[in-house]
Structure 1
Amino acid sequence: MEGIKAAVCQLKVVEDKSANIKKASEMIAGAAGNGARLVVLPEMFNCPYQAPLFPLYAETFPEGETFKMLSAAARESKVYLAGGSLPERDGERVYNTSFIFGPDGNLLGRHRKVHLFDVELPGGITVKESSTLGAGERITVVPTEFGPLGVAICYDIRFPELIRLMALKGAKIIVVPAAFNMTTGPAHWDLVFRMRAVDNQLFVIAASPARDVNAGYVAFGHSIMVDPWGEVLARAGHGEEVLTGELELARIEKIRRELPLTAHRRTDLYQLRELADVPGDQV
């Protein structure tokens, strides 16, 4: 496959879970109707991004209403669906997890956010995800008909080792549900996503919730698609919209051939390796 049309559903998240699920379903159908084969939802798309609320909205796979919608939407629209992220309950633990479904509605894999966002930022923004969430323990790359798809969640993108390991596992596209805020967004949103694309010579898709200035946590918006040369293919505004872009996959090999970064790595001086698998994060 030489190219694929991708879409981000940048929806406005409200307190009503059912309303969020319904809106996401409608936007997925709209994206597919416009030709998208890969659809990406935002981080914590079915609940407000506030750590104390995550356990209240958490669902256990596969019984939860959000999971049922994601599977049905992928199957009905015949798309690869990176279901943003949502609070996933597993026993006594809750995780910030992205579930990825294939066009047949079957689960391809899941990514539990590896790096928890525990910060005190300028402007009085304090977030402590670890107060209610556990951390994932796996690097996530799932198979698709257009090549391996890497999945990270928000803060994960700031750790280049994680994304490089996805690239070494063959990832051609990295999808990143992400809810940067009004401090980190203006400062770093374009910068980090463009640099991870350039570092690894692959496509990066970042999916943000739409901005709601009345929310307890205000997302930056501006979902973005970046090509392997670091060029911005498509960028959303801060409101609710479906963003689409064409990913020319042949561009990856062309750029890697002309600027062979991976081949020039000095693995005699440094190495990057994945530790032994820890059970529990994948299908």
Structure 2
Amino acid sequence: MLPTLSLAFGLALIAALLGWIGTGAVVAGITRISLPAAAVVVALVAGATFLGAINTYQLLRIDNQIPPFHRYLPLYWFSWSLGLVLPGQIGDMAALSALLRKHDIPITRSLGRTLADKITSIIIFALAALPGIAALAVEFPLPIMQRGTAVIAAILSVCAISVTLVLLRNSLRLRHLIQLATEIPREITLLIRHHPIPLLNNLLLTLIKLLVTAAAYQAVLGAVSPIPPPSLTTVASLMSISALVAYVPVTFNGIGTAEITGVAVFGTVGLSAANVISAYLLLRLLVLAVAWIPSTVWLLTLAIGRKNAAG
């Protein structure tokens, strides 16, 4: 019931935005992108995802007999694809942990490692968002905007609560819940104490991934807008604000809420609402294609392999 409501709410927000801006203007912006520009965006999205796979792999392989990277990559890619259609951007963690359980990796360990990666991403996004929040405070000098740190703290708190709720919902027995609640923080603590170098590598790769993702946003904004897009650092900061909002599990993968935030933040640098919505929706479509086309091919390959093995 809740997933249906969150999807309906997100689509209603998109419909409201299209009604306010005008569907024709948004469609015109989306169709303005050229094939080479779309290819650049696709390559950047795929590159950011590949970096994410490396990031989680180098944490998961510590003290684990994890599959080789070429076999791990499809597992990560498919889990990421699932996360794109689940609320709160944490469905990828649960899916990846379930897949790795078949390779004898305890779910508490995989959840702990992937949660550490997710926390790093949220911290990087929060730090990158600070200049954008400061710009919003100048553009809209309201008391609430001047307390940017409080806004980030609230978002981080909601993200933490969201992770907890998902773990609660997916835990069928109290014993499993207690085990998860105690062992996952212990796993993260062990990483911090005994494996600081992989965590520092994770931090660096997450920063690079942020810049690659920002480059994808910059490319798509430049493709749909008649005016040049902002600088890469500006896009990274403003994009991070909407990315943090997308973590709040109100709608599927922040659909609607991220777009509304994008209109507000990119409006401060002169981009029209129509161009921003066009860019966000186009990027969503390209991301889904990058995610699900390889995932579908992988699933079909598995199915064909099992059928041939069966006889």
Quick check: which one's strand share is greater? 1
Q: Which structure is larger by alpha-carbon Rg, 1 or 2? A: 2
The normalised TM-score by structure 2 is 0.26
